[in-house]
Structure 1
Amino acid sequence: MDLTASLLTFTMFWKLSWSLQCYTCNPEQASLPCLQFDYSSKYLTECEHSTMCFKKVTTLEFSQGLTSESITRGCASQTANGEQRRINGKWRAVQDIHEVYEETCSEDPSNSERSPKTMYCYCRGDRCNGSQQVLGNLLAFAAIIILGVLS
């Protein structure tokens, strides 16, 4: 199979996605609770108005060293409600994406001396708020290129 045919075949299976994909789950959400989180596609959300994903880990410490942990995942909030701009002489609602987070994890300083403790993590890239990242498309593309060159 020549390189052109290989590339055309590959593009049929390659999903083009311009928006970020983040894992989304919430301990208070009955349909997709984080307690059952398994890195499957049912937890993926297209983040149209965000360039970052987040993961929030809340840890509650009890007596005798016992702890309880709650995890929330989703698209980072990067738009302001009610934001407007004058467009063609009329005020229109807009949803500009603001870069307000650093790509890091940090503990909420407001609860440093008391329980529960909350850690906020922000990251860039598809599925970055899970501990596993899939490189399937990249590996498949590399394999097709190598096979095309070798044949």
Structure 2
Amino acid sequence: MMTPEFCLLFGLVVFCGALGLADSVSCFECSNLQDKRCGTTFDFAPGSTEAKEKYLKKCEGELTFCRKLTYEDDFQGKKTNGIVVSRSCWTSPGKEGFEPEVKECSEMFKGVACYCKGDLCNGSELVRASTAILFIGLLPLLCSLLGF
């Protein structure tokens, strides 16, 4: 039987290797102008297959994040009470060092722009558990399955 230290080291090596495989992020891409459920709140059931089938997009490129824009627009927003919400992929125009931890928002003219890094993070106001936390929680099971 292997020591707990070896098991932890093994888990860290596997986790660090998995980090290198993630080169893109998946975001929701929709607007409340096309679907009212894509408004200020994302009115799809958690884990909704309908939302994923209709609005999930794999974003490509370096410095790519998910974005949610909320702004006032009296012309376009007639059927949305003047508030337009748009969710999409966003690629930073070379602003090195810009990497939102969980969610970073900034005010813009007549609205707010929020950016986040992580699959489907622009679909909810809730903070989802990170991959690292999930992996650490599953580490004892992985070690026992591998006989460590």
Larger radius of gyration: 1
TM-score of the two chains, using structure 1 as the length reference: 0.49
TM-score of the two chains, using structure 2 as the length reference: 0.50
Larger relative helix fraction: 2
